[in-house]
Structure 1
Amino acid sequence: MIIGLYFWNLLRNQQSNKTAVDRESKKEMEKLRKLRSIQLTQPLAEKTRPQSMKDIIGQKEGLKALKAALCGPNPQHVLIYGPPGVGKTAAARVVLEQAKQHASSPFLQDAKFVEIDATTARFDERGIADPLIGSVHDPIYQGAGALGVAGVPQPKQGAVTKAHGGVLFIDEIGELHPVQMNKLLKVLEDRKVFLESSYYHEEDTNIPRYIHDIFQNGLPADFRLVGATTRTPDEIPPAIRSRCMEIYFKPLLPDEIAEIAQSAIAKLGMPESPEAVRVVVNYASNGREAVNMIQLAAGLAITEGRDRLRAEDIEWVVNSSQISPRPQKKVPKEQKIGYINGLAVHGPNIGTLLEIEVTSMSAEKPGAGKLTITGAVDEEEMGGGARTLRRKSMARSSVENVCTVLRQIGLNPFHYDIHLNFPGGVPIDGPSAGIAIACAITSSIRRVPVHPRLAMTGEVSIHGRVKPVGGVVAKVEAALQAGVEKVLIPRDNWQEMFAGLQGIEVIPVDTVEEVICHAFPEWAESISERGESEGNWIDPSIEPAVQPILPFMQARSTSE
């Protein structure tokens, strides 16, 4: 009798618990239905998101390279460099859809595009959770479920397995934790994920067959990696770079920003507003910023009962959001003594015009002149971890090389107090301004201006040779946008594509003498008339004792 009452109470409690769970489940389901029935309007950023190749503006060459990497019979892993808001994620998604249409492509019609953000892809050092690679839920941890009660470890798939047969897109891959980066490299090589657990035993018959298979043969992870980053290539680990094709997306030009802004206005159902677009172009540096500015300005216009954007609306957005003007450097209209246009790169594949200005005054004592450099980095550190090297900045070293070369051609900078300045508020480093510094110092000392529509880039060796530098394509593009008509570059950086450029002349040079001939053509003509051999003032093969250095631009004619 007592035993019967015990079991009857036990069954009744179980039934009441089940009833309570069912009632709670119905309440939660009703809450979910109500939540799903509420929908806001689609954000403008989502409306303007590119859905096809033609919707991606300003990245013709980048898209061409991305298609070549992914749409062939042997797709490759890809790293995309570029500033934010220029279409890196959208391009990867669209190109995968195009690849599915190619008969030779290994991507099937149901190939997945799995996206993960490296900044939020955190993992547990004990291996409990890893959203990128995958993990094992051991029975000891809470929430193991029925398999945990039986002492069975449960493998959990990561993004690399979910992307099997498709594309794994990792945004901001440069922020990925080094441990995860090393694990990812192993997965790229094996195309499998091997998991481990101290609770797994091959002879355990309680473990399901599929879990045995996962631990013994690994989870499939045959995908193509597309990583996007706003960092520069030297900040990405060489191990991942060597396994990927590197593609560069360029910053958007003003006309391309205007096209995106006009498209955003049209998708809002508003009439065209050229004056508003012009203000957007002056402040937005990428497509995302342009769309956000249009959306906020449109909200202001609608709340005020207007159906058309005005320039004042965009200006209000600029002031309320404290948006800085878009840096658009243009060449000066007038010639200046001691002023020249250099070229530099900042960020991934972003070129810019670099102002260099010099003033010079005769020193109190010949040969005791002072050299002051402002706007350049003083020191830089190299390496990391247990060993760090510190050296004088390459920009300052470049100035010293220039002074040595100028002395060889008869212009001694140490007879003058020279102040070299890089205006702009951003510290400058790197040797690529060498030939520009040489021309600026020469212009200041000899009081002869350089043409304002001339720009140049190139490192100077102590023998007067012009050495190759990086980012020349981006620098030439920046020069073209700034209104430069002629660009001097190292001959080793010459590419045939430069010969067909419209609106700008790209000239390769080998020596500082050639640079000065282009920067000061009147002097070059006078040298030729006075008998100098093609303006070649420096011959490293001849010792100074055999060929004494004549004063700069004062070589005597043989007829005198």
Structure 2
Amino acid sequence: MGQRQTLPVLPLRGTVMFPGITAPIAAGRPGTLRAIETALKGDRLVFAVAQRDNTEEPAPDILFTTGVIARIGQVQRGLGGVQLLLQGEQRATALHYSEVEGHLTAVIVPAEEMMPLDLKDPAFEALHKEARERAAELGEKRGLPEEVVHQVLDSVEDAGRFADLVAGYIELTVPEKQGLLETLSVEERLRRVLVHVQRQIGLLEAQEDIKSQVQEELGERQREMFLREQLKAIQKELGDDDSSKEIIELREKLSKLELPKEARAEVERELGRLERAGRESMEAQVIRTYLEWIAELPWNERSDDHLELARSGEILDEDHYGLKEVKDRILEFLAVRQLRAQQVAAEVATTGEFPVSKLKGDTSDANPALSTTANEDRQITDTREAKSRAMARGPILLFNGPPGVGKTSIAKSIARSLGREYVRVALGGARDEADIRGHRRTYVGAMPGRIIQGMKQAGSRNPVFLLDEVDKLGQSYQGDPSSALLEVLDPAQNDSFTDHYLGVPFDLSEVLFIATSNFIQNIPGPLLDRMEVVDFSGYTEREKKEIALSYLIPRQLEESGLAGRGLSFTDDAVMKVISEYTRESGVRQLERQLGAVARKVARRVAMGDSGTIDDKVISADEVRELLGRPKVHPERANEHDEVGISTGMYYTPMGGDIMFVEASIRRGITRSSDEEEPTRVGPIALILTGQLGDVMKESARAALTYATNNADLLGIPRERMQSASEAHIHVPAGAIPKDGPSAGIAIATALVSELSNRKVRRDVSMTGEITLRGRVLPIGGVKEKVLGAHRAGIKEVIIPKANEADLEDVPDEVRAQLTFHPVETLSEVLAIALVEAPAPAEELVGV
């Protein structure tokens, strides 16, 4: 027996310490902490012994007598106690326990192990080897890497230490482990450890067999049902049983819809998938979103049409000033729809048959099994549908014109006059076909296209649907959105429009589509072919004044908080804003400038100057004071007749105006090397400046060729022609690109004026294309050009003979103040435009 010694006692709860094992121990009881502190002050040795039961306050009678002399290694202190590494060194037996200074101490003696008499005994070696192999097998079955298992086991060669190592790591109860600790015979302890290891291997193998048998017996569907029942039970316990309620509510909502056959089949299929999918799965969220879209679309809802032409005319006049031709075309459009609706109603009244089957093709007669009331309700619904479909089979309108002339707002007025819902979809900049048709559901973040989104927004299957800015559609590698619109706007196809997201047909045949554009030439031909163009032209200054007084000024006073104060504008003030602060065909910029005046007046009111504002009339001079210097400087007619300067006319989407064409002839001058090489036409070189486009350059070349070939008949002195070396044509405002053929006669007039030294009348403007033989060809934009010339102070206008009919579009008050000269040849133009008449008209020489 070894030497006695007294050591602090470290009671262990739920575990047993073995020699050669290093284990982390958490200590927090006061007595244990005092024992640890005592050991740390000495040689760091403690007597680690297990408790018989798990009591909080250990006493000598609940401690085993056999334990381990252990050394305290690393110590980490915390708020709840200490964490320490304890390394078992040797078995020991407690002879006596006592309490000293608040902790237990024990008088112990080391316990000597009983080794086999013959370590080379084959039976002992076989036992030792078997124990090692089974221990390695157990470690691998528990999932430990083979290399790690062998490294740990091979580090201990002694049989007794090996038995203690395995006993420390296998899963045993405290009494079983304590029994192994008290077994001093190495051979017996090794045998008992082998039994425990073999038992645990058998347990793991049995678990694996049971698991494989269960998986075989339970099919995939049974396993899924089992897990789903568990999930439902868990959700019920957590109070999270809303998923099934949502599905039931969604199913009820969808069942009330009268869906087409294809849509109903798709809905039922997706509902089944939703019920099988887990609530929080990504698939369930995608399916739920899809079904919600289906449920929220207006499959059956429609608005009742109110087709009263007199009321519609009143609404259009209330909302818009002028636009007589546009209003007439819209009222004609509505009149056709009204007559078609009356025809349907008359057919129902006389025959009792519903023409829905003729219009739709899949609607059966009333069901005899239904009640009388149900059949009557269905007859009413079918009649409404038939009327709506009959009225829907009309042209699709395209409102084309410059910005700000009321295209979008008049579409809203049409919806109001019909009593329909109004939806506007802005197509400007759309470059992806999916913008119209939607994305397929396989894409992340997929959603329907703008058409289906608009139908959901309308909440009705027969809204007025405005496709704004169809000429701004772009193209990219993602497809052509204008091609996707072909099906939408084709009455023969749009009753089965299929959005990629929905995947089922949706009927758009009852929708009244209206499109708007600024540049009709930017719309693809097949798309334009499906629409009827209604042209919106710019307003005259008088029309702008009336619009400002009747609509814009009251609205801006209301928005600025000045309504009810009696503030008003004089006619001259409004005309000053129109002519000197805006330059447009519409009235959008005009409203901004009037709003600026209202805001400046509102500022004065807010600063306490309200006494001078009430019932105030704003004059033209006050407009200059409030808005500052004029922002626009329109061209005005020349003050004097001049040689080589003619007055042309041009048109842009912002309106019409005049432009000056200047011609100058160089005579007998040698050009320097650094000057631009001119274009030579015969003996005379041609220089063109002012950012002219190719078409305008060609018009200038044609004009010079005509003038040089017909110099004698045009009254151009021979010596002036012979001395001319260069003809310079310049159009002022060089920063602005200019193009088009309509300046042809203006260029020719300026050239002939300069070559013949005749003055051009300042009060005459002209437009028309010229040919090499002096013919004047028709051009476009006559109304806007004439209005621009009138604003500039022009008195007489020369136009091509072929454009004479276009003068009917010019307002009466403008036509009354202007003199028009329709011409067919350039000689007629020169006779009117030049102060001195040209040579007598004879057969002119061409090229």
Q: TM-score, normalised by structure 1?
A: 0.68
Q: 1:248 maps to what in 2?
A: 535
Does the 8 Å contact 2:647/2:762 carry over to 1?
yes
Instruction: Report how far residue 299 of structure 1 moved.
Output: 2.7
One-letter code of the match for 1:421? H
1:76 Cα deviation after fit: 1.9
Q: Is the 8 A contact 2:742 2:767 kept in 1?
A: yes
The structure 1 residue matched to 2:411, chosen from 92, 97, 117, is 92
Q: Is contact 1:486–1:506 with CA below 8 Å preserved after alignment?
A: yes
CA positional deviation for 1:342: 0.9
Q: Is the 8 A contact 2:396 2:513 kept in 1?
A: yes
**Pairwise CA distance, 1:245:** 1.9
Gap change, CA 1:60 and 1:492, over 3 Å in 2: same
Equivalent in the alignment of 1:343: 649
Number of matched pairs: 441
Residues 113-128 of structure 1: pairs in structure 2 closer than 5 A: 113-119=422-428
Structure 1 gap ranges (5+) = 19-49, 101-108, 145-152, 199-210, 379-392, 545-560
SS in 2 for 1:442: helix
Q: SS of the residue aligned with 2:761?
A: coil
Choose the corresponding residue for 1:418, options 727, 739, 763: 727
Which among 176, 197, 202 is matched to residue 473 of structure 2?
176
Whole-angstrom distance in 2 between the partners of 1:465 and 1:373? 22
Q: Could you give the per-residue CA deviations for residues 324-372 of structure 1, whole angstroms, max 9, x where no partner exists?
A: 7345333223211111111122227x32212111122423499744322
User: Paired residue for 1:514, among 791, 814, 828?
Assistant: 828
Of 318, 329, 332 in structure 2, the residue corresponding to residue 65 of structure 1 is: 329
Go from structure 1 to structure 2 and tell me whether the alpha carbon gap of 1:241 and 1:324 turns closer, same or farther (over 3 Å shift).
Answer: farther
Q: What is the CA–CA distance in structure 2 between the aligned matches of 1:354 and 1:154, rounded to whole Å?
A: 46
Tell me, yes or no, if the aligned pair for 1:301 and 1:313 is still in contact at 8 Å. no
Partner of residue 596, structure 2: 296
The residue that corresponds to 2:744 in the other structure is 434
Give yes or no for the alignment of 1:469 onto 2:779.
yes
Kindly state the Cα deviation for residue 92 of structure 1 after the two structures are TM-superposed. Answer: 1.7
Residues of 2 paired with 1:517 and 1:143: CA distance?
69
Secondary structure of 1:157's counterpart equals helix
For residue 116 of structure 1, report the CA deviation from its aligned partner: 0.9
**Which residue does the alignment assign to 2:686?**
371
User: Aligned-pair distance for 1:398?
Assistant: 0.9
Contact 2:426-2:469 within 8 A present in 1 as well:
yes
Tell me the SS of whatever aligns to 1:419. strand
Match of 1:13 in 2: 238
Amino acid at match of 1:253: T
- Higher helix fraction (1 or 2): 2
- What is the correspondence of 1:70-469 to structure 2 with a 5 Å cutoff? 70-73=334-337, 75-98=394-417, 100=418, 109=419, 111-119=420-428, 130=435, 132-133=436-437, 137=441, 157-159=452-454, 164-178=461-475, 179-189=480-490, 190-195=493-498, 215=504, 217-230=505-518, 232-263=519-550, 264-267=552-555, 268=557, 269=563, 270-274=566-570, 276-281=573-578, 282-284=580-582, 285=584, 286-305=586-605, 306=610, 307=613, 308=616, 310=618, 314-315=623-624, 318=627, 325-326=631-632, 328-347=634-653, 350-364=655-669, 368-378=683-693, 393-410=694-711, 411=716, 415-416=723-724, 417-424=726-733, 425-469=735-779
* Distance in 1, Cα, partners of 2:692 & 2:440: 49
Q: Is the 8 A contact 2:624 2:630 kept in 1?
A: no
Is the Cα–Cα contact under 8 Å of residues 540 and 787 in structure 2 kept in the other structure? no
Deviation at 1:400, TM superposition (A): 1.0
Greater relative contact order (Cα < 8 A, sep 6+): 1
User: 1:491: how far off?
Assistant: 2.0
> Structure 1 residue 7: deviation in Å?
9.1
Q: Which amino acid aligns with 2:689?
A: T
- Residue in 2 aligned with 1:26? none
- Relative to structure 2, which stretch is displaced further, 480-489 or 441-450? 480-489
Change (3 A) 1:442 1:121: closer
Spell out, residue by residue over 1:55-92, the C-alpha distance to the aligned partner (whole angstroms, 9 max, x if none).
41342333333433454336422222222222111112
Counting only pairs closer than 5 Å after superposition, residues 470-485 of structure 1 correspond to structure 2 as 470-485=780-795
Aligned counterpart, 2:676 = none
State the distance in 2 between where 1:271 and 1:360 align: 57
Residue 221 and residue 450 in structure 1: after superposition, are their counterparts in 2 closer, same or farther (change >3 A)?
Answer: same
1:141 to partner: Cα distance: 5.2
Say if 1:443 and 1:69 are closer, same or farther in 2 by CA, change over 3 A.
Answer: farther
Identity %: 23
The alpha-carbon distance between structure 1 residues 511 and 220, as it changes in their structure 2 partners (threshold 3 A), is closer
SS in 1 for 2:794: coil
Cα 1:408–1:333 shift into 2, 3 Å: same
Give the Å deviation of 1:439. Answer: 1.0
**Letter paired with 1:503:** Q
Counterpart amino acid of residue 172 in structure 1: E
| Residues 237 and 327 (structure 1), Cα distance of their counterparts in 2 relative to 1, 3 Å cut | farther
CA-CA distance at 1:239 after TM superposition: 1.9
TM-score, with length taken from structure 2: 0.46
Looking at structure 1, the residues matched to 422 and 239 of structure 2 have their Cα atoms a distance apart, in angstroms, of 45
Distance apart, 1:408 and its partner CA: 2.5
Cα distance in 1 between the residues matched to 2:643 and 2:450:
71
Change (3 A) 1:355 1:143: closer
| Letter of the 1:427 counterpart | P
Q: State whether residues 133 and 193 of structure 1, in contact with CA within 8 Å, keep that contact through their aligned partners in structure 2.
A: no
C-alpha separation between the residues in 1 aligned to 2:445 and 2:736?
Answer: 53
Q: Letter of the 1:271 partner, please give it.
A: L
- 8 Å contact 2:649–2:658 — kept in the other structure? yes
Residue aligned with 1:373, SS = strand
Cα shift at 1:444: 1.4
Q: Could you tell me how far 1:423 is from its partner in structure 2?
A: 0.8
Amino acid paired to 1:272: S
Residues 265, 458 of structure 1: CA spacing in aligned structure 2 closer, same or farther, 3 A cutoff? closer
Aligned-pair Cα RMSD in Å: 3.9
Provide the rounded CA distance (Å) in 2 between the counterparts of 1:456 and 1:112. Answer: 47
Question: Shift of the alpha carbon at 1:160?
Answer: 6.2
Counterpart-to-counterpart distance in 1, 2:450 and 2:746: 61
